[in-house]
Chain A
Amino acid sequence: MKTPARHRAQLRDWGAATLVALLIASAVFFVHRNREFRAREEGRARAAALAVARGEPPVGRVDLAGVVSPPRASAAYPFLRHRSFVEAGGDGAARELGGPCAPAADKLVYDAAGRFEAEGAFAGFLPDGSGRVVAATPTEGGVAVAVSTPPGGPDAFPWLTLIGVLGLGAALAGAGSVMGGAARPLGLALGASGLAVPTFLWGGALPATLIGLVALGVAWSAGRGGTDRFFGALAAHRTALSFVAPAAVSMAVLVATPFVVGLVLGFYDHDANSWKFVGLDNFAHILSGGGKAFDDPGNFWFVLGVTVLWTVCNVALHVTLGVALALLLRQKWLRGKGVFRMLLILPWAIPNYITALIWKGMFQSEYGAINSLLDLAGLGHGVSWFSSWSTAFTANVVTNTWLGFPFMMVVALGALESIPRDLYEAAEVDGASAWQRFHHITLPHLRPALGPAVVMGSIWTFNMFNVIFLVSRGEPGGSTDILVTNAYRWAFERDEYGMAAAYATIIFLILLLWTVFGTKVTRKEAAP
């Protein structure tokens, strides 16, 4: 390699490592700065409140400070609580807080007194984004409250420090490259780990070590030609990468981010807007069945059983009906195939929640179409479809079969098109029966197309929220709920987002296993 190219490569590697280090260092800096800022501003307001509590004028600059009296509840309306206020540094006269014309700042000290009575002394930022802090502390005859003035703003980003460290690092890396030999990776590692020093001061040993490891890793990789290969590949596929980039970025934002957030939430417990880390508790609670019997709809394993049964029944019906109809549509004697095909695809074309709502209405016990038909046929009167598990489950399956068979039919039609006619002709010449032709020619040719369709269809059915939620609504007593509707109930009926996220993770793992297994099986079948 020519000398200038070697130096360029060294600086390039140093730049890449430094970029990662810079990201880590900036994140650490902002966390550090916000913590400092918070502590400083809260300390300022707290000091002012403490001074007021001692009867002195407030230290530092404040918007408003003084002593708020305990509440006096209105006789007629106990929730109207009147308070009076003595402003610090004023003439010592008490004035009433509140009323329709009260000044804006009074509301802050009034609310602070209420919060003090609920949770004790505190100092905290106002939620209005102004950067002001309210602090309250006990004193004789009430609560001492101080509202700080808006702060001048947090520390600036330390550009000078960074430029100094970066310049030094670049010089080290360059020097290493010029000296060559063992100095080359050494210079790279030292030059790229310069940011570890300010990071250590801001955020301690952990992020600093991380930066050091990044620098070492890049230096090690550069020594083995790893970075050359990496950047070479980047340059070679520049066009392809630029085409992929928008999709990759949107996938990262729209798919990967919610996915990771969902995974993480599963380890937390949500209660009235606060999140508490509980480790694997949610998963343990779900997988142990929550202390319920196995035949209780609240038990995870019961719901899983229903879900699996639901999936198996549906997919079996979808495939059987779809293949049967596809075979029928292939018959030579059938006239108006186009019309039939269109009609049969129609259930697929209608949004499934609309179909689900229509079926729900048809299953209504007193005026529903299905009971009217049963009544006419003399098969029963006023069947209450959603009052027992078997009928409610049947209603769900019927609805979802209606929704699901067109897909399988379309897949089967496509696969049937691709079977060479002469195979059938040869079989006919050999005297094969219709069943033998189906079993030995049609079925083996359908399998490669139906395999992936079955895997996909089973995943859709496993997570078929709309039908369950709209048709049976889990009735009776939640026993026809499947895993995904159960997860919904945890999130939106009980506000237990952590449990819902854990549920979602479990569903994901089950489906992941099934997909891996399913693809393997279908691949094996397609192979011979």
Chain B
Amino acid sequence: MTRAGLLLAATAVAASAAACSPERDHGVVLWHTYNGAERDTLEELAASWNQAHPDQELTLVAVPYDAFADKLTSAIPNGNGPDLFIYAHDRIGAWAAASLVEPVEFWVDEPIADRYDRNALLPLAYQDSLWGLPLATKSLALFYRTDQVTTPPRTTDELIAMAPDARAHGRFALAYASTELYGHAPWLYGYGGEIFADDGSLHVATAEAAAAAGFARKLVADGVSPAETNGQQVATLFGEGKASMALSGPWFIGDIPAGVPWAVTTLPTVSATGRAAEPFLTAEAVLMSSRARDKEAAFAVMSYLTDDPSAVLRARQARQVVANKAAYDDPDVAADQVLATFRDQLDHTVPMPATPTMRAVWRPYQIALQEILRGGDPGDALRGVEDEVIHGP
């Protein structure tokens, strides 16, 4: 489809969406944290919406990421917040409990739900309601330097086997955020561990989770990975050639210095269990404020931003790993190897828990991982996490 044709289609969809809601001249305000190509694409989408709906003007407001959540929680209850906003799904639990976000399942029928990959839509369901429509997904994948690695490892045994050779060249085989739960999650789920049981209760201190933590310690002890690395250092190590591979997400692409030859592939299988290493999945979504002034118009915008033509544009121009299934039929999008890899990884991910309790888990788990990597007992450390989350520190 040509670009002009695309815009035409988008306009047609938008026109049909608005035809059913009475024009009420409230306008729709959307807050986002995008910049660069993502922001340009969003502005382009907003411009074509406004052309078709002069009476329901969509106004975009860029808000710095650091201040975003705090601004929302203070502005929405006072009626000063946006009508829509773009954010990851993992705060839905807390926001739903505080009645900041509007459940949207009322407007969503099966044809709309069918647009999205099931794995991208499910994270937005919480407590029998749907709280937004997905734009894109984010998860870790395996980046590797093609000048140092010819065939990326498909299993963790292959990964460990690469270490001696890498050490001989004075580098690490793999850099990842080993002391952060986000970086550790692929091993945790690959070993069959979990954070919450199916009934929603905390389930951290398990034999599987201890095995996963033991594996992480082995990676450091065997010199496969450096000790104590955070996300920032992963980028530095990879860029300087001191690490041949890195676990990171789509945001990492911008951090790789020009001239570094790289490729990305899905995570390896955990040899001990035969299961794929499964990273956390975050779904970036358009959410509606519970105080939106014109909810029908807001939903029409929400639906428009996440429909197939918009998704194709976002995938092509902003290289978002869009949630729409049909977008990957577009020849340009299908040809993008990076998008294809992250989309393949999507089938082996675990949605980041959206329950408010999760916020209390991150830090104790991080402390436990640090203890374990320094030689502490995994079982004790994980029991400590459970204890702290339940009883407080």
Which A-B residue pairs are the 4 nearest by beta carbons?
A101-B20, A298-B393, A79-B125, A272-B97
B39 at interface, CB cutoff 8 A: no
Q: Which residue of A100, A298, A365, A387 contacts B107 across the interface (Cβ within 8 Å)?
A: A100
Assembled-state Cα–Cα distance A74/B371 (Å): 46
23 pairs of residues in contact across A and B, judged by CB atoms under 8 Å: A74-B110, A76-B110, A76-B113, A77-B110, A78-B125, A98-B105, A98-B108, A100-B107, A100-B109, A100-B112, A102-B296, A104-B296, A107-B107, A111-B106, A114-B129, A273-B98, A290-B392, A290-B393, A298-B388, A489-B363, A493-B360, A494-B360, A494-B392
Could you tell me which A residues sit within 8 Å of B by CB distance? 74, 76-81, 97-102, 104, 106-107, 110-111, 114, 127-129, 272-273, 290-291, 297-298, 365-366, 384, 387, 475-478, 489, 493-496, 499
The 0/1 profile, CB within 8 Å of A marked 1, for residues 277-305 of chain B is 00000000000001100011001100100
Assembled-state Cα–Cα distance A476/B367 (Å): 7
Cβ-closest chain B residue relative to A97? B106
**Residues of B contacting A80 in the complex (Cβ-Cβ under 8 angstroms):** 105, 108-110, 113, 130
Question: Shortest Cβ distance from B180 into chain A, in angstroms?
Answer: 12
Q: Which B93-148 residues have C-beta < 8 A from chain A?
A: 94, 97-99, 103, 105-110, 112-114, 121, 125, 128-130
B155 at interface, CB cutoff 8 A: no
**Do the beta carbons of B367 and A493 come within 8 Å of each other?**
no
**Do the beta carbons of A100 and B393 come within 8 Å of each other?**
no
Assembled-state Cα–Cα distance A405/B295 (Å): 58
The 0/1 profile, CB within 8 Å of A marked 1, for residues 203-243 of chain B is 00000000000000000000000111000000000000000
Q: Given A100-B20, A101-B21, is A478 in contact with B367 using a C-beta cutoff of 8 Å? A: yes
Cβ-closest chain A residue relative to B73? A273
Cβ-closest chain A residue relative to B125? A79
Assembled-state Cα–Cα distance A98/B295 (Å): 13
**Do the beta carbons of B363 and A493 come within 8 Å of each other?**
yes
Assembled-state Cα–Cα distance A111/B393 (Å): 38
Assembled-state Cα–Cα distance A272/B300 (Å): 30
Assembled-state Cα–Cα distance A71/B226 (Å): 53
**Do the beta carbons of B110 and A489 come within 8 Å of each other?**
no
| 16 additional A-B residue pairs with CB within 8 Å, beyond A78-B125, A80-B130, A102-B107 | A74-B113, A76-B110, A79-B128, A80-B108, A100-B112, A107-B107, A111-B103, A272-B98, A273-B97, A298-B392, A366-B228, A384-B374, A476-B371, A489-B393, A493-B360, A499-B392
**Do the beta carbons of B295 and A129 come within 8 Å of each other?**
no
**Do the beta carbons of B130 and A79 come within 8 Å of each other?**
yes
Question: Shortest Cβ distance from A328 into chain B, in angstroms?
Answer: 39
**Residues of A contacting B291 in the complex (Cβ-Cβ under 8 angstroms):** 127-128
Assembled-state Cα–Cα distance A494/B361 (Å): 9
**Residues of B contacting A102 in the complex (Cβ-Cβ under 8 angstroms):** 106-107, 296
**Residues of A contacting B374 in the complex (Cβ-Cβ under 8 angstroms):** 384, 387
Question: Shortest Cβ distance from A66 into chain B, in angstroms?
Answer: 16
**Do the beta carbons of A475 and B367 come within 8 Å of each other?**
yes
**Do the beta carbons of B107 and A99 come within 8 Å of each other?**
yes
B17 at interface, CB cutoff 8 A: yes
**Residues of B contacting A494 in the complex (Cβ-Cβ under 8 angstroms):** 359-360, 392
Q: Which residue of A78, A110, A297 contacts B393 across the interface (Cβ within 8 Å)?
A: A297
Question: Shortest Cβ distance from A100 into chain B, in angstroms?
Answer: 5
Question: Shortest Cβ distance from A394 into chain B, in angstroms?
Answer: 18
Assembled-state Cα–Cα distance A127/B108 (Å): 22
Question: Shortest Cβ distance from B364 into chain A, in angstroms?
Answer: 9
**Residues of B contacting A495 in the complex (Cβ-Cβ under 8 angstroms):** 94, 356, 359
**Do the beta carbons of B113 and A77 come within 8 Å of each other?**
yes
B54 at interface, CB cutoff 8 A: no
**Do the beta carbons of B107 and A478 come within 8 Å of each other?**
no
Cβ-closest chain B residue relative to A129? B79
Number of interface residues of B (CB under 8 A): 45
**Residues of B contacting A110 in the complex (Cβ-Cβ under 8 angstroms):** 106
**Do the beta carbons of A98 and B106 come within 8 Å of each other?**
yes
Question: Shortest Cβ distance from A12 into chain B, in angstroms?
Answer: 41
**Do the beta carbons of A107 and B106 come within 8 Å of each other?**
yes
Q: Given A80-B109, A81-B105, A100-B20, is A272 in contact with B130 using a C-beta cutoff of 8 Å? A: no
**Do the beta carbons of A100 and B17 come within 8 Å of each other?**
yes
Assembled-state Cα–Cα distance A384/B374 (Å): 10
**Residues of B contacting A77 in the complex (Cβ-Cβ under 8 angstroms):** 110, 113, 121, 125, 130
**Residues of B contacting A489 in the complex (Cβ-Cβ under 8 angstroms):** 363, 393
Q: Which residue of B17, B98, B113, B359 contacts A493 across the interface (Cβ within 8 Å)?
A: B359
Assembled-state Cα–Cα distance A151/B255 (Å): 58
Interface centre among A79, A110, A114, A384, by most chain B C-beta atoms within 10 angstroms, is A79
**Do the beta carbons of A100 and B299 come within 8 Å of each other?**
yes
The 0/1 profile, CB within 8 Å of A marked 1, for residues 56-84 of chain B is 00000000000000000000000100000
Assembled-state Cα–Cα distance A367/B363 (Å): 24
**Residues of A contacting B103 in the complex (Cβ-Cβ under 8 angstroms):** 111, 114
Cβ-closest chain B residue relative to A297? B393
The 0/1 profile, CB within 8 Å of A marked 1, for residues 258-294 of chain B is 0000000000000000000000000000000011000
Q: Given A74-B110, A76-B113, A100-B20, is A476 in contact with B370 using a C-beta cutoff of 8 Å? A: yes
Assembled-state Cα–Cα distance A348/B109 (Å): 61
**Residues of A contacting B128 in the complex (Cβ-Cβ under 8 angstroms):** 78-79, 81
**Do the beta carbons of B106 and A273 come within 8 Å of each other?**
no
Assembled-state Cα–Cα distance A80/B106 (Å): 8
Interface centre among B20, B227, B290, B367, by most chain A C-beta atoms within 10 angstroms, is B367
Assembled-state Cα–Cα distance A85/B112 (Å): 22
Cβ-closest chain A residue relative to B292? A128
Assembled-state Cα–Cα distance A348/B227 (Å): 34
Assembled-state Cα–Cα distance A97/B299 (Å): 16
Assembled-state Cα–Cα distance A476/B391 (Å): 20
**Residues of B contacting A99 in the complex (Cβ-Cβ under 8 angstroms):** 107, 109
Assembled-state Cα–Cα distance A97/B106 (Å): 7
Q: Given A79-B105, A128-B291, is A100 in contact with B370 using a C-beta cutoff of 8 Å? A: no
Question: Shortest Cβ distance from A171 into chain B, in angstroms?
Answer: 45
Cβ-closest chain B residue relative to A77? B113
Question: Shortest Cβ distance from B214 into chain A, in angstroms?
Answer: 19
Assembled-state Cα–Cα distance A494/B391 (Å): 11
The 0/1 profile, CB within 8 Å of A marked 1, for residues 328-371 of chain B is 00000000000000000000000000001001100100010011
Cβ-closest chain B residue relative to A74? B110
Cβ-closest chain A residue relative to B124? A79
Assembled-state Cα–Cα distance A384/B370 (Å): 11
Question: Shortest Cβ distance from A501 into chain B, in angstroms?
Answer: 15
Question: Shortest Cβ distance from A345 into chain B, in angstroms?
Answer: 31
Question: Shortest Cβ distance from B376 into chain A, in angstroms?
Answer: 10
Assembled-state Cα–Cα distance A104/B228 (Å): 53
**Residues of A contacting B20 in the complex (Cβ-Cβ under 8 angstroms):** 100-101
Assembled-state Cα–Cα distance A106/B97 (Å): 23
**Do the beta carbons of A104 and B295 come within 8 Å of each other?**
yes
Cβ-closest chain B residue relative to A75? B110
Assembled-state Cα–Cα distance A98/B105 (Å): 8
Assembled-state Cα–Cα distance A127/B79 (Å): 10
**Do the beta carbons of A98 and B228 come within 8 Å of each other?**
no
**Residues of B contacting A387 in the complex (Cβ-Cβ under 8 angstroms):** 370, 374
**Residues of B contacting A475 in the complex (Cβ-Cβ under 8 angstroms):** 367, 370
Assembled-state Cα–Cα distance A79/B108 (Å): 10
